[in-house]
Structure 1
Amino acid sequence: MSHQSGIQPSEELLTTFNNALQTTDQRAIKVVISEEVMTVSDTLPVKGSWEEDFPLLSAWFGPTEPCFVLCRMDSTLPSGDFEWILLQYVPDYAKVRDKMLYASTKATLTKELGDSKFVDTLYGTTPAEMSLDGYRKHIIHKEADVPLTEREIEAQAVRLAESSADIGMSSRRSHAQGVTFPFSDTAKGALRQLKDGKANVVVLSVDLSQECMELDTAGDTTLSELPSVIEPSVPRFVFFTFQNTEYNGAPSSLIFIYVCPPESKVKERMLYSSSRASVVAYVEGELQLNVVKKFEVDSVDEVDEATLTEELYPKQQGTPGMTKRAFARPTRPGRGPARVSRAGTPSSTGSADTS
């Protein structure tokens, strides 16, 4: 299943960007999604160095409207072409649908314009994060993320296995191991909406700058559309209320999905792995929500309706009042089973817990 939205760059955007590649007078291009197309909203000519021009972009970052900004640097690639960076601005107060669209369209944008031309991506939810100071902090953080040696990775993996081995256990236990982050007010609010039935999905991320668990996305979506809500290359925690469609009358079930893409940074994977137990503990303990099933997957599209139906309702065929639908979605070829555990039972790597 594709993570992309199907939204393509307009001819105007392609022409504007190609022209910018051929000249030296274009500093930045603001891109917005309008009428299901990525189009040019504004441009900024070169006035000084990139550091002098960068603060001029602040006028493009409002309180509710997301956008992409293609910003040309003064440094060049080995080919002699200028380097570009992509700024992805998605404010907290943007509409949920807009958040989903921009998250699922970024890959298409850079692919259509040329991935090799973009040397960095800055993601932010506030104008401050999109400022020159915000970009400098991003660079410092990026350069500090030095790859670990193989020996360090092995040592860290052992410690993480010890600290997070209880992800398959009932996380109401007060001694949940690993790293614990406080939840931001927006994250708490979204989880309360989930509890009240006003949303069926909440996606959380670790905000290292604020040292907290932050809301990434919340709202209503279908299981098949869930991949479009989530960045494909970074870890995320997902709470999703699954409404079974295989059996009429089956109750809804809250599931937890720990998404850990193989291409994500080693330190990110370690951080999320060691904090996942405390996230489930908060939701089950503080909010009194029952997480029926926990999954650990490389990509969220590994969790499909057939998988959930099999794991959550394995014996419903004989349950009074529940009628099985005529057709079930077959398991996709080429994928191994998601790593999954029921609440109260240990997780089983590479297979479903059937006890």
Structure 2
Amino acid sequence: MAALKLSLIQKYKPENAYTYVYSTGFLSGGSVVKQGADSIEEGNAFISHACPEQGARALLLTRKEEVPRAYSVLALSETGIQEIELGEDFLDRENEPMLFSFGDSFGVIKAKKEIFYFTGDFSSPEIIPIKNGFLPFSKVLPDNARVRYFQTVSDGRLVPVCFEKDVYYGLSRCFALLDFDPVKKEAKWKCFSEIEKNAFTHHDDRTKDAPKIDSLKMENDELYAFTSGESTGSVNKWGMDYYALAKISSEGKVKEKLLESEQLKAGGKKSGVNGTFTHSDYLILTPLFNNDDWKGKQKLFSLRTKEYLDIVMPRGMTKHSLYNICGELCLIALYDRGLKEIGLCKIEGIE
């Protein structure tokens, strides 16, 4: 199997004690081009998502250990780490903050009702309310919908967002599309859906539980979802029932399955894989267990070629995990009872 080889550009040692990497993003650096498949439309201009190495910035949503639920966004650049504290406004026990990047700016969704939109030096966000638009007979978002911070990627103004409703386990079985116009400073919810379970070979007819959603991506007007099966039990203890990568409609209909596992529990061995979309062609696949067929090693899956790749980390960083890719840039981090180290790498090539 071919492997993507990474080399280190810069290493970061956080001064504060942070917990997990909840989600990540990349900023484009603001370069403007007139055309290209890797661009997004903003008004009459197109903003590149090429992520040039010089001046590139990566984003990381985390929180400080000493202050429960006090979230921060770390902006990484060649000059170091800039911490953007979200503060007590985001101390919400029901809704988690959701990070998304947009050109050379980024937003954080608060409590499904507003966006903290950061531009320039990120010192003072603009607060943009989110309208809960109306369907023919009801609001788009039900009152019991709760935002989850799972990683999403978008190349335009429609941003997919993960939600949970009815029963709250910190999972996501629903999604919505946020229609965000940074020029007019307007935002509204456009849909609220679950992924149809019957499309997956190993779905469970004994329950009404919709497939869980690990990560979402909107690219070239196509919506992609990675599901880690339907099981309600702890997958870290019992393993997954199945996983799959699918192209879906805004109503949750499965249009195409790009990847689908076997029934993982059939063999009696605990296994499972989580999937995270990146700002590139690659989906990051992370196994749950170190003793499975992958020996605990992450792999990449190309949405374009449908092929797997191994990952070769920089020397001395084999315990780090890969969190995002944009162009030739990769964001990695080391977790060991807290966030210990972050690295910005470049792709040397495929070997």
* Range of TM-score over shorter length: under 0.3
Does 1 or 2 have the higher relative contact order (CA < 8 Å, sep 6+)? 2
> TM-score, normalising length from structure 1?
0.27
Q: When the two structures are superposed, what TM-score results if normalisation uses the length of structure 2?
A: 0.27
Larger Rg: 1
Q: Which has the higher helix share?
A: 1
More strand by share: 2
